[in-house]
Amino acid sequence: MNRLARYLPILDWGKGYGREALTSDMVAAIVVTIMLIPQSLAYAMLAGLPPEVGLYASIFPIMAYALLGTSRTLAVGPVAVLSLMTLTAASAVAPPGSAEFIAAALVLAFLSGVILLALGILKLGLLANLLSHPVVSGFITASGLIIATSQLKSILGIKASGAAMPELLISLFENLGSTNLPTLVIGVASIAFLAWVRKGLKPLLMRFGLPERTADLTARTGPIAAVIVSILAVVAFDLEAKGVKVVGQIPQSLPPFTTPLFDPALWRQLAIPAILLSVIGFVESVSVAQTLAAKKRQRIDPDQELIGLGAANIAASFSGGYPVTGGFARSVVNFDAGARTPAAGAYTAIGIAIAALFLTPLLSSLPIATLAATIIVAVLNLVDLRTPLLIWRYSKADFAAMATTIAVTLVFGVEPGVIAGVLLNLGLFLWRSSRPHAAIVGRVPETEHFRNVKRHKVITDPRIVTIRIDEALTYLNARWLEEFVLEAVAEKPQVKHLVLMCSAVNAIDASAVESLEAINHRLSDGGIRLHLSEVKGPVMDALERSALLEDLTGDVFLSQNAAFSTLLIASEEENSLPPANDVWMARGLI
Amino acid sequence: MNRLARYLPILDWGKGYGREALTSDMVAAIVVTIMLIPQSLAYAMLAGLPPEVGLYASIFPIMAYALLGTSRTLAVGPVAVLSLMTLTAASAVAPPGSAEFIAAALVLAFLSGVILLALGILKLGLLANLLSHPVVSGFITASGLIIATSQLKSILGIKASGAAMPELLISLFENLGSTNLPTLVIGVASIAFLAWVRKGLKPLLMRFGLPERTADLTARTGPIAAVIVSILAVVAFDLEAKGVKVVGQIPQSLPPFTTPLFDPALWRQLAIPAILLSVIGFVESVSVAQTLAAKKRQRIDPDQELIGLGAANIAASFSGGYPVTGGFARSVVNFDAGARTPAAGAYTAIGIAIAALFLTPLLSSLPIATLAATIIVAVLNLVDLRTPLLIWRYSKADFAAMATTIAVTLVFGVEPGVIAGVLLNLGLFLWRSSRPHAAIVGRVPETEHFRNVKRHKVITDPRIVTIRIDEALTYLNARWLEEFVLEAVAEKPQVKHLVLMCSAVNAIDASAVESLEAINHRLSDGGIRLHLSEVKGPVMDALERSALLEDLTGDVFLSQNAAFSTLLIASEEENSLPPANDVWMARGLI
C-alpha cells in the first residue's frame, strides 16, 4: 500500500472495483437502507431532534467515511447512545426541538469531528485506552436502560423528561394518569412484534424454505413492516383524532447546507460532552470495525479510523445532521448482506437521500409509539447482565469501576457516569501499579528454583535476603520499593547481602533508578551490600546508562542461583564488610 | 510492637528512656537550637511573615511530631521551599505582612495539617507517588533558583517582588538604581563568610585538632557568628541611619494561641496550594527520615509520618506559625549531633521557646541582608545540575517531565510547575503503558530459546506466528494488543496458529481478558487457533476465573518450545481446521 492510499483508502479498493463487487454492494445497500429509514427517524427523535435530521445524518456522513475510513463494511450514522448523549448535552443549552437545540446538535457534531480529526492526525487514538472494557460496557448497559425508560413515555402517550433515572421515573409516574390507550396498544403491539421478529421470524422464514442468510437479512428488515402496518392502522381508524401522536409532516428535501454556529461560549459549554461523545463513539466503532475486518483477515488502522469518523461528523455538521459513528447492528447487516467495499455505504446514502426526497410524505402518519418501540427493542440488546457477573468473578477492582459507571450514569446521567468510571479506573490502576507484588524468596531444596518463603519450604540464610519483584519499577512504585526493602532488613542485624531478583522486571524508569541508588546507599550505611540478579537485557541496557552499576556495592548475577551460591560462600569467608561509606544520597528541603 | 505503640510511637521509645539517651538528646538539641534561630527568622521572612512567626513555627510543631512521628531524628520546622509556596499562595489573598496574609498562612498550615492527617488515617500516602523523582528534583531546583533570586533584593537593599523569575528579574532590574551600599557590603560579606563556613571551616577546625564530628557540628553553627558580627557592626557604625534595614523589634513572647479563620471561600482558594504544599513537604520529609532511619536499621512508617506531620501543621496553625515539615539540613545535624529519640526535638522546642522569650531583644539590630545571605547560601545547595544530566542520559521521557517542571516553575511559579510536572509525567507513563514492547519470535537453531525475528536468525514456520509480550496486559494496552495481533496475521492466509508467549506478563486485567476473548474469536473467524505459552502461576490462577480458557480455540503450553514443536507436528498432520465458528463477540452501538 503506498503512502497516499494509507490516507485515502479509496485508492486502494477503488482500483480493483468491478461488476461483481458492484452487485454485492448494491444488494447490501438496499437491505441497509430499508433497515435505516425507521432507525434514523427513531434515533433523531431520541436525541430530541426533528425526524428528518436522522435521515440527513445518514447521507453525507456515510459518504465522508466511505472516502476516508479503513473499514470496508462499517456503516456510519446515528446511533442510540450518541443520540442520548446529544440529547443530554444540547438540553443544557436549550429545550429539545428548539432552533437553539438543533444548532447545539450541529455544534456538537462539528466539535466532535474536529476532535476526532485532531486525534487522528496527531495519532493520539490511544486516548481511547482510558476507557476500559468494564467502563464502556457498564456505560452502555446504563445508557440502554435510560434510553428504554425514556421511550416509555411515547409508548404510554404521555409527557415525561429527565436525563437520568430518578427524574425520568418520577416524571413518568406523575404523568401515568394521562396514558392514551390507542397509543399504548400500538406501542405494546409494536414491541411484541419487533421482539418476535428478532427471535422468531428467522426460524419461520427458514421453515418456509429460505436459506439461512436470506432469512436472516429478511428478518432484519422486519421493522419496516411494523412501520407500514402502524401507518395503515392510524389512517384506517383515524387514530390521530383519538390522541395518537404521529411523526407529522417531514420536509421533502435533500440535506440542507448548514454551518455550525461559531460561538466561543457555546463551544466551551459543549467541549467536554463533545470529547466524551467522540471517544465513546470511536471506541465502539473501532471495536465493530475490527470484528468485521478480522473475518476477512483485513486490517483497519485506528488512527485513520479517527480521521474517517472525524470527517463523517464534520459532514454531519454541514448537512443538517448530528453526531454519528459506526453502528453495530447496521454494520453487521451490511457485512452479512455481502458488502465488499465502502461503495456500499455510498449507495446506502443515495438510498436514504431518495427516501428523504420521495418517501417522507408517506411517513407523516407514522405513530411515534412505533418508533419508540423500535428503540426499546434495539437498546434492550445493549443491556448486558452477563458481563458484570463475569467481571465480578474475575476482578473486584474492575467490577468496582464498572458498578460505579453504571450507578453514576443511572443516577446522575451520561457525562458524570463516563467521567466517574474513567477516573476510578485510572485511580485503581495507579493504586495497583503502586503496590506491585513482591516476595522474599528462598531456594527450593535440591533445585535451582527460588520460591516465596511464605508459600514453600525453601532454603534461606540469615545473612542473605532475596526479594523477587513482579512488576516494572516505575515512579509509581519507587517509594514502595524503598519501604519494602528497608522493611525487609529492619531489625535484622545479621543481614549482609540483599539480592533483588529482577526476572519479572520489564522496565525501570529514572525514578526507580534513583530509588535503587538510595536503597544501595542506605543499605551500605547499614553495612549491607545490594546485588541484582536475572536482570533482563533491555533493562540492563538502560541501567548501563545510569550511575547505579558503578555505585552498586554488590554484583549483578546472571542467575539467582549463582547469586545465592556465591554469596553463601562469600558470607562464610568474610567476617565483616568493609566500613560503610557515609554518602548522603537524599537531597531535601534545608 | 503493640497496636497502640504503632499510633503513639512515644510508648515504644519512651519506656527505655534513660540517662544516656537524655544526655545525647540534650547535646543534639543545643546544637540544633543554635542553628535554628537564624534559620527560623530567615524562612519566616522569605515567606513574607514577621520574623517571630518562624520561631513560633519551631516550637509546638516539633513537640507534636515528637509525640506522633516515627522517625527518631527528623527535625520538623519551617523550610525554604514550603516558605516560598506559602508566600505564593498567601500573596494571592493579601499583600505579604498584612494581617490577612498572616491569617492565610495559618489557614494554609491548618488545611495542610488536615490533609496530611486524612491521608495518614486513610493510608493514602501513595498519593505522593504521583510526584516522581524527576518532578520533585526539578521542582526543588527551580524553587531554589527563585528563592535565591528573590533574596537578592535584600542583599541590594532594594524593593522587588514577583512569584516567578520573569517578574522578579524585571522588578530587580528596575530598582537596581536604589541599591544601598552598606547593605550590599553586609550582604556580600555574609554570603562570602557563610560559603566559607560551609566549605572551609571544618577542615580549619580539624587542623586545630578538633575531632571530625565536633568540627563538623561547630561549623554547622557558623551562621550564628555571622548574625552576631553583623549585629555588632550595625550597632557600632550606626548603619541603621545609613539605610541598612534591620529585623526590628521582635515581641518577647511564647507562641500566641491562634485559631485558623473559618472562611469557606478562603479555604476553597487555598485548597489546591495546601494539597501541593502537603504532598511536597511529605515527600521530602519521608525521604530524609528514611535516609536517617536506614543508618541505624530503624524503620519509619510513611502512613504514621503523615499523621505526625499533620499534627505538626495543625499545632503550627494554633500557635501563630505557618506550614512546616521535616527539614534536611537540621535533621542531619540532629542525627550527627547524636540525637537518639524524638525527645531531642522536644528539647529543641524548649530551646527555641527560651530564645523567643529572652533573646529576641538582642536580635532587633540584625540586618535583613544577613538573613537573606543565610537563605541564599542554604538554597543554592538545593540547585542540582547533575541530576538533569543523569536523567537526560537515562531517559528522554523522564527528562521531559523534569525540564517541564523546571521551566513552568521558573516562568509561571510553584503551583503551575508542580501540576504541569505531575500531569506530564502521568501522561507519559500512561502513554508508555499503552505501547508495551512486543516482538514476533522464532526459535534459535538447536536451542529451546525464542528470540525476536528482527534481531536474530531464528527458525519460524509460515503456519505459526508467535508473539512475545513484554508487559502486564491492562486496559491501557488491551486495544493495542488487539491491533498488534490482527496486524501480525493480516494478509497472511497461511497462518493457522497464533501463540502468545506470556513469560513477561505479570498480570492480566478484566479489559485484557475481554480483548483476549475478542482476539480468540476474531482469529477463529479467520481460521486461526489462539494458543498461550509460559503463563505465570498467578496469571493462570486469574484466567481460570474467566471464560477465556474454556473458549480458547487452542491450548495453553507450559513452555514456548513445547508449543512450537507440538504445533509444527499438528500443522503437518492437519489439512484444514474445523469450520470457524460464527460468534459475534463485540457488542456495540446499535
Does a structural domain hold residue B558?
Answer: yes
Contacts of B431 in chain A (CB under 8 A): 126
Stretch B138-144: mean pLDDT, rounded?
91
Over the stretch A71-116, which tens digit does the pLDDT of each residue have?
A: 888 999 999 999 999 999 999 999 998 999 999 999 999 999 999 9
**Structural domain contains residue B362:** yes
Give φ, ψ of B546 to 5 degrees.
-100, 175
Q: Above 0.90 for ipTM, yes or no?
A: no
B391–A contact, CB cutoff 8 A:
yes
A514 vs B133: CB contact, 8 Å cut-off?
yes
Residue A585 has pLDDT above 60, yes or no: no
Instruction: Tell me whether A93 touches chain B (CB under 8 Å).
Output: no
**Do A365 and A245 contact (CB within 8 A), yes or no?**
no
Give the pLDDT confidence of A168-225 residue by residue, as tens digits: 999 999 998 889 999 999 999 999 999 998 888 888 888 888 888 888 888 877 888 8
Mean pLDDT, residues A379-399 taken together: 88
Distance from CA of A174 to the nearest CA of B (A): 31
A492 in B contact zone (CB under 8 Å): yes
Quick check: B329 contacting A, CB < 8 Å?
yes
In this structure, the answer to whether residues B375 and B452 fall within a common structural domain is: no
Size of interface A-B (CB pairs under 8 A): 282
pLDDT value, residue B128: 81
Residues B416 and B466 in one domain: no
Q: Is residue B308 part of a domain?
A: yes
Average pLDDT over chain A, rounded to whole? Answer: 88
Q: What is the pLDDT of residues B548-562, one digit of tens each?
A: 999 999 999 988 999
Give chain A positions within 8 Å (CB) of B492.
297
> Is the CB of residue B148 less than 8 Å away from at least one CB of chain A?
no
Instruction: Give residue A467's pLDDT band: very low, low, confident or very high (50, 70, 90).
Output: very high
Same domain, B373 and B501: no
Q: Is B431 inside any structural domain?
A: no
Whether residue B275 is found in the same domain as residue B365: yes
Is B41 within 8 Å of B271 (Cβ atoms)? Answer: no
Quick one: B230 and B205 in the same domain?
yes
Query: Contact, A325 vs A287, CB < 8 A?
Result: no
C-alpha cell at A93: 443549552
Do A375 and A443 fall within a single domain?
no
Q: Are residues A113 and A221 in the same domain?
A: yes
* Nearest Cβ partner for B585 among A291, A518, A523: A291
Which residues in A lie closer than 8 A to residue B474 (C-beta atoms)?
Answer: 429
B290: nearest CB among A126, A390, A486: A486
> Is residue A17 included in any domain, yes or no?
no
Instruction: For residue B31, give the amino acid letter.
Output: V
- A387-396, A482-491, B2-11, B236-245: range with lowest mean pLDDT: B2-11
B240 and chain A in contact, CB less than 8 A: no
Q: Assign A326 a pLDDT band (cuts: 50, 70, 90).
A: very high
Domain ranges, residue B170: 3-426
Tell me what the mean pLDDT of segment B502-530 comes to. 90
* pLDDT value, residue B486: 86
First to last CA, chain A: 61
Asked if residue B108 and residue B154 are part of one domain, the reply reads yes
* Minimal C-alpha gap between B566 and chain A (Å): 25
Q: How far is CA A7 from CA A62, A267, A288, B486, in A?
A: 17, 29, 20, 20
**Residue A27 located in a structural domain:** yes
- What average pLDDT does range A40-45 have in this prediction? 92
Q: State pLDDT tens for residues B276-311.
A: 999 999 988 988 888 888 777 777 888 899 999 999
The pLDDT of residue A337: 83
A124 in contact with B, Cβ within 8 Å: no
Q: Is A333 on the interface with B (CB under 8 A)?
A: no
Q: How many domains does chain B have?
A: 2
pLDDT at B1 over 70: no
Length of chain B in residues, anyone?
A: 590
Q: Which of the four pLDDT bands, split at 50, 70 and 90, describes residue A3?
A: low
CA neighbours closer than 13 Å in the CB half-sphere of residue A501? 24
Residues of B in contact with A475 (CB under 8 A): 129, 132-134, 425, 429
Assess A40–B contact: CB distance below 8 Å, yes or no. no
B415 and B516 fall within a common domain: no
pLDDT band at A435 (very low <50, low <70, confident <90, very high): confident
Residue A589 lies in a domain: no
Chain B neighbors of A332, CB-CB under 8 A: 584
List of chain B residues whose C-beta atoms are within 8 Å of the C-beta of residue A590 = 79-80, 327-329, 378-379, 381-382
If asked whether residues B68 and B100 sit together in one domain, one would say: yes
pLDDT of residue B2: 59
| The total number of residues written for chain A in this structure | 590
Verify that B394 and B503 share a domain, yes or no.
no
Residue A146: which H helix or E strand, with range?
helix A133-156
The answer on B362 and B442 residing in a single domain is no
Residue B586 domain-assigned (yes or no): no
B434: closest CA of chain A, how far (Å): 7
Residue A439 sits at the chain B interface (C-beta within 8 Å): no
For a pLDDT cut of 90, what percent of chain B falls above it?
47
For residue B583, pLDDT beyond 50: no
Whole-number mean pLDDT of chain B?
A: 88
CA dist B114 → B9, B49, B307 (Å): 20, 22, 9
Closest CA to A546 of B141, B133, B406, B392: B392
The reply to whether B382 touches chain A by the CB within 8 Å rule is: yes
A312 touches chain B (CB under 8 A): no
Chain B: residue nearest A83 by CA? B589
- Residue A484: give its domain's CATH number: 3.30.750.24
Last residue of a domain, one of B377, B395, B426: B426
Task: Examine the pLDDT at A575 and tell me if it is beyond 60.
Answer: no
Give the closest-approach CA distance of A362 to chain B in angstroms: 25
